[in-house]
Amino acid sequence: MVLHYPSVRNSNWELLCKAARARGIRLTTWEPHRLQVHCMDGEISGCYDGKPVRPAIILHRTVAAFQGIVIPALKLWASEETIILNEPDAAYRSRDKLLTYLALHRAQVPIVHTIAFVEPSEEAMQPLTGHWGVILKPAHGIRGEGIRAFGSTGELLAAWEDNLEQQPPLSLAREHYVVQPLVGGGGRDLRAFVVNGACVALIQRQAAPGEIRANLTLGATPTRLSLDHPAASTAVAALEACRLDYGGVDLIEDDDGTVRVLEVDAWAGFAGISAVTGEDVAGAILQLAMTRRGGTAA
């Protein structure tokens, strides 16, 4: 069972369906907003459209907006021996860049110098003062959304004062941000996809002219890299640090040649990297699910 919306980044779903047909696996779609958890004296059950269910295997994607119901439901099914790839708490933590960096730091995986904050100040930005170029990212941004580059921390502070970001009242949840030096001037990074402790696909992405974000969806030019590249082992270490079964890792190589992790995403798309490398990433994910289930699927 795949917990997702098939219409969201449909190309990934199509690859999963193709890989499933090749392996004789039947995939079923569940939409996250149709989940319920029924709590009664002596009984708690996970339900879909009001009916108690207990799937054999669950892959979850496009569920970020439904944390309150998805995490309890998946944990309940896991306690009933459903195979859940990517433990839900770990998956949601990976969407937060700050929590990701903390996990990577504990595991001694190289990261870029990062300052996290709700609102910036001159004092807070002091460690990055003097860098030519800094990049600002919302902690929960995806696919390059909300990323801005500045020539200096001073430019960032001036833009913020000009209402770069409109924050909600203090009574509501507020986004936090990270700022990092713009390594190599921006516009080039590496994307890896890791499944079951192995890097199965690796590419370099060069941003379109005038763009600092190297996302394929924004017109970046990809190049396939050998899995012997040092980024492959760094990506594997990053997934292990974040306690994920599979996911995408964005990395960057600094001026000294050290590969550092920028982001980890449990719900990263794999259609783009599959097209560039020719690797069957969807098949690797399904094979992991089959292996966890002992060779059967439902």
- What's the CATH number where 120 sits? 3.30.1490.20
Domain region containing 226:
103-109+186-287
Residue 195 falls inside a structural domain: yes
For residue 98, with 0-12 CB atoms within 10 Å meaning exposed, 13-18 middle and 19 or more buried, which class applies? middle
Give the separation between CA 142 and CA 262, rounded to whole angstroms.
12
pLDDT at 166: 56
Mark whether 75 and 129 lie in a shared domain: no
| Single residue among 136, 160, 183 that ends a domain in this structure | 183
pLDDT digit string, tens, across residues 192-224? 999 999 999 999 998 888 777 777 777 788 899
The answer on 211 and 178 residing in a single domain is no
Residue 210: the pLDDT is: 76
Q: What is the distance between the alpha carbons of residues 170 and 188, in angstroms, rounded to a whole number?
A: 37
Domain membership of residue 295 (yes or no) is no
Q: Are 177 and 116 in contact, with CB atoms under 8 Å apart?
A: yes
- DSSP summary character for residue 267: T
Residue 216 maps to a domain: yes
Residue 33 lies in a domain: yes
Do 283 and 212 lie in one domain? The reply is: yes
Q: Is residue 96 part of a domain?
A: no
Q: Would you list the DSSP string of 102-155?
A: HHHHHTT--B---EEESS--TTTTGGGTT-S-EEEEETT--TTTT-EEESSHHH
pLDDT computed for residue 191 by the predictor: 96
Beta bridge partners of 47: 36, 52
292 within some domain: no
pLDDT value of position 94: 94
Number of domains observed in the structure of the chain: 3
65 residue type, one letter:
A
Question: Do 195 and 152 fall into the same domain?
Answer: no
- The predicted pLDDT at position 298 comes to 40
Q: Does one domain contain both 175 and 194?
A: no
Q: d(Cα 218, Cα 239) in Å, to the nearest integer?
A: 25
The rounded distance, in Å, linking the Cα atoms of 163 and 33 is: 34
Token representation of residue 43: 């009984």
**Is there a single domain that holds both residue 245 and residue 228?**
yes
CATH number at residue 258: 3.30.470.20
- How far is the C-alpha of 156 from the C-alpha of 228, rounded, in Å? 38
Q: Is residue 54 part of a domain?
A: yes
Choosing from 183, 210, 244, the residue where a domain stops is 183
How far are the Cα atoms of 155, 161, 292 from residue 145, in angstroms, in the given order?
Answer: 20, 20, 35
Return the DSSP state at 70: H
CB within 8 Å of 24: residues ≥ 6 apart: none
Q: Are 157 and 132 found together in one domain?
A: yes
Q: What is the pLDDT of residue 169?
A: 56
Residues of the chain with pLDDT under 70: 163-173, 295-298
Provide the H-helix boundaries in the chain: 10-23, 67-79, 88-94, 97-106, 153-161, 230-241, 271-277, 281-292
